Structure 1
Amino acid sequence: MSPDMNTLRKEEMSPVKVPANLPDLVRATFNKAKANGDVNFYPTQVAVLTPASTPFQLRFSPSLANKPKAPPSSSSPSSGHEKKKPFNPFENPPPQLTVSPIGPSHTLVLNKFAIVPEHAILITRTFKPQTHLLEADDLAATHACIRAYHDCPTEGKEREELFAFFNCGDHSGASQPHRHLQLLPVTRMRDGLAYEREEHAAWSVLANRLTDPVTDNTRLPFATFAEKLSLDMQAEELHAVYRRLYRRACNAAKVGAVGMADEELFQGEAKISYNLAMTKDAMVVCPRTAEGSSVLDREGRDVGKLSLNGTLLAGTALVKSEDEWNVLRNDPEQLWKILGSIGIPSEDASTES
């Protein structure tokens, strides 16, 4: 066994240390950063669509079109021919966006451009590629944050829950090369849902429904692979679940992974684009073949493109123009059709194990 594996086995015996008041800490940091202009928050309108009887949030932010551009790449002033270094927002995160260290290898920061309030990002403290497979400590740190939200006292209110997701590969919605998982408080994902129209009760996190045999009557048009989790799982157990799901996704994508040795399948860059979702109850992997698809009006005119990242496994989608918003609200089946175009058709993966 390698020295690294020995170290991992020793470290996993100790739970990842997370502040007990993590939800309050994230909330306070977000509120202060928003008040000081350090976070750009984009309010949204929301509707719950039910294509194929599956509730999906559709959100629209009119102000998102004005989102600032990323800072330009940096280069050495001594030579105009040197390769420019891309800007990395996670290399030295500003203190006003930093929430807390999470264990020995991760830091929790705020998303500077938030659609959902209190959107946090779990980054590796040293650079690791977003394109490579997740390691046991990535999953353990994420799981520790999920557990901290669930365990935080709520004074008689419903327990706080987290939805975590990871985008990997060209078709996944990934945008930053520095490894990071994203964390969304489920209560804030419900912001704007109308009680009087029963939207609040209709929508729940999709990932959880994919592992529940009682409530899972969901028949998605894209393949997903899921297993149940529990709050007492250790890093190595979480990593084993992840590797099983990733292998099944690779098999479904027919990338030559069937029978491939672990050393080849799990080393280096991922063999497929995929999204991962984690909650306290479930881990889900969704292989991706496209980031999105065009939205067409009744006359067949292209009014924009709906792009989807790991939040699709929560059952949410975001549009950036009013035309897209109006078309999809009036034609929910088109959302279903787009969902069927971004991954492996579920019927094609039904025999994969």
Structure 2
Amino acid sequence: MEGDDLKQKVHDTFVAAEKNEHLKLTHAESKKLKDPLTAIQYWVTFAPSLAFKPKARKGDDKRIDDPFANPDKELVVINDVNGDGEYKLLLNKFPVVSGHILLVTSEFKDQQSALTPVDLMTAYKVLCSLDGDEDSDTSENRHLAFYNCGPHSGSSQNHKHIQIMQMPKRFIPFQDTLCNGKDHFLPTFNSEPLQDDRVSFAHFVLPIPESSDMVDEDLLAMCYISLVQRALTFFQDWNDEAPGLSKSYNVLLTKKWICVVPRSHAKSKPPFSLSINSTGYCGMVLVKNKETLDKLTEEPSLVDRSLFECGFPSTAGQKPTEYDY
């Protein structure tokens, strides 16, 4: 996967698929907001037509209406990503941003299953190819890979897939600030994952080595496992208050950092009822009605409240023994 070749292939496949109406690029308007209380940036995208997007059918057989089983050939960017038949790279059929792609397992695997070392490394390699060699902090061609795992994560398809999309230009997610100037490390009892005490929801972040030569399957797997272990403790701790709460979490990955967020709900409470997936937890929120957009514009801190309602309370500043890791 050479960077220029992959970027060109994604572009060419997208242009052809859109021209032939095999995908529909959703008309959307975006604006950058800043929470005056925390200085956290939010990228709010208004896409009213998504309210009418067809929903995947739910049932006991998770393979019903699987769009990735026999994907439209016009949406296939790469039919065999690693040359081993394990993954395909497809275009999103209903993208909000151009070039939104999906790293999909060739055989059906459940979206509620954990990511494997190969899943993580393959996604990281795609990021490296798409980002190129530019400085990841200043590049206008920076990408985010994300995985919605579990029924409360914002996932809409049962077939295992990691989504990859370009991030907004000149947008700074709070994870960037959190990791700025920090070297890669793995958590220990005395060295916890990073958390930003400006946000209300629980999240766990680790810096990734700047040089891609230092990143391999083992490193990514250890990062992922250590963060997921911490996320899963919330479902044990909250069992009395919410018995039977299904385990769900979001994974966000860039060349700079990896982040895991435990999830309690797929939507925030009324009146907003925002549907939130992984992208919300780096500040990119999708809005489908004008009234909600106006409210968030008037009071950006409502974004943090919505993210809190879909997650768990932050444990930033607490010692490990205080929440039984």
Which category of TM-score, normalised to the shorter sequence, fits these structures? 0.7 to 0.9
Structure 1 counterpart of 2:228, one-letter code = Y
Query: What SS is found at the alignment partner of 1:220?
Result: coil
CA offset digits 1:165-189 (Å, max 9, x no partner): 0001111101111100000022xx3
Written as runs of structure 1 = structure 2, the 5 A alignment for 1:102-251 is 102-103=81-82, 104=84, 105-151=86-132, 158=139, 160-186=141-167, 189-190=168-169, 200=170, 203-212=171-180, 219-230=198-209, 231-232=212-213, 233-251=215-233
Normalization by structure 2: what TM-score?
Answer: 0.81
Aligned partner of 1:46 among 15, 30, 40? 30
Structure 1 counterpart of 2:19, one-letter code = A
Distance 1:21 1:88 in 2: 29
Aligned partner of 2:72 among 91, 94, 103? 94
Aligned partner of 1:59 among 23, 45, 48? 45
Distance 1:172 1:234 in 2: 27
Any stretches of 5+ residues in structure 1 without a counterpart?
Answer: 1-16, 75-81, 191-199, 258-269, 296-301
CA contact (8 A) 1:242 1:283 kept: yes
Change beyond 3 A, Cα 1:236–1:217: closer
CA contact (8 A) 2:231 2:262 kept: yes
Written as runs of structure 1 = structure 2, the 5 A alignment for 1:271-286 is 272-286=247-261
Distance 2:263 2:17 in 1: 34
Change beyond 3 A, Cα 1:351–1:343: farther
Whether 2:305 is the aligned partner of 1:324: answer: no
**What is the Cα deviation at residue 212 of structure 1?**
2.4
**What is the Cα deviation at residue 127 of structure 1?**
0.9
Moved over 4 A (4+): 17-20, 82-85
Change beyond 3 A, Cα 1:182–1:206: farther
Distance 1:85 1:150 in 2: 33
Partner of 1:23: 7
Structure 1 counterpart of 2:206, one-letter code = E
Normalization by structure 1: what TM-score?
Answer: 0.75
Partner of 1:195: none
CA contact (8 A) 2:196 2:316 kept: no
CA offset digits 1:284-343 (Å, max 9, x no partner): 100111112135xxxxxx3x4111101023311011111211222122222222122111
Q: Percent identity?
A: 29
Considering only aligned residues, what root-mean-square deviation do their CA atoms show, in Å?
3.0
Query: What SS is found at the alignment partner of 1:238?
Result: helix
Change beyond 3 A, Cα 1:348–1:206: closer
Change beyond 3 A, Cα 1:85–1:237: closer
CA contact (8 A) 2:26 2:95 kept: yes
Distance 2:87 2:287 in 1: 31
